Amino acid sequence: MSRWTIDPDHSVAAFAVRHLRVADVRGQFNGITGTILYDPEDPSRSSVEAAIDVSIMTTGIRKRDDHLMSPDFFDAGGYPLITFRSTKIEITGPGTAKIAADLTIRGISHPVTMDAEFSGPVKSPFGGETTMGFFASAVINRFDYNVRWNEVMEDGGFIVGKDVKITVDIEADLSA
């Protein structure tokens, strides 16, 4: 089993949620931190723990970012971290897996299963460290995490959708 440290400079978690029922609003969190224990002989024995600093979220629109940081959404002051802790990894093919995990947002944990891809390891030409890549995606219901702010539209629909598409791109470096 080898230990890999998530590289916060080359890792990002992104989300997309339907706005006005016509288009997705996207945002991202840079600076993911955490550890991956990887077993190349039996990847299903691997595990991952990661944390995201909520305060570094951006959608590119300051007014929207401020609202998302408020208690209406992420409540960054009360819940500064989003955490992810794997509970089971099922290998589904060469370089693919399903990762079951506990995802905690606003202090509320729920199980989530992410479709994942992994690649590497490779030696970096910029210093010689050994790096692996991981990509994962899932859809969660934001109401499960008490992220419930919304407004009713004239036709009875809602401004913000309940389903949130999540993608995570991670580079992790082999720890010494």
How many C-beta atoms surround the C-beta of residue 140 within 10 A?
Answer: 19
Tens digit of pLDDT at every position of the chain (176 positions): 999 999 999 999 999 999 888 899 999 999 899 999 999 899 999 999 999 999 999 999 999 999 999 999 999 999 999 999 999 999 999 999 999 999 999 999 999 999 999 998 999 888 778 999 999 999 999 999 999 888 788 887 788 999 999 999 999 999 87
pLDDT at 86: 98
Two tokens, residue 54? 């909520």
Helices (H) and strands (E) in the chain, counts: 1, 11
Question: d(Cα 156, Cα 148) in Å, to the nearest integer?
Answer: 16
97 contact partners, CB below 8 Å, separation of at least 6: 43, 44, 89, 90, 91, 116, 117, 118
**Cis peptide leading into 111, omega within 30 of 0?**
no
pLDDT at 153: 82
Domain limits for position 42: 2-174
Q: Do 135 and 99 form a contact (C-beta atoms < 8 A)?
A: no
CATH code (residue 121): 2.40.128.110
Q: How many domains does the chain have?
A: 1
Q: Residues, the chain, total?
A: 176
**Alpha-carbon distances of 110 from 86, 101, 103, 144, 145, rounded to whole Å:** 12, 8, 6, 8, 8
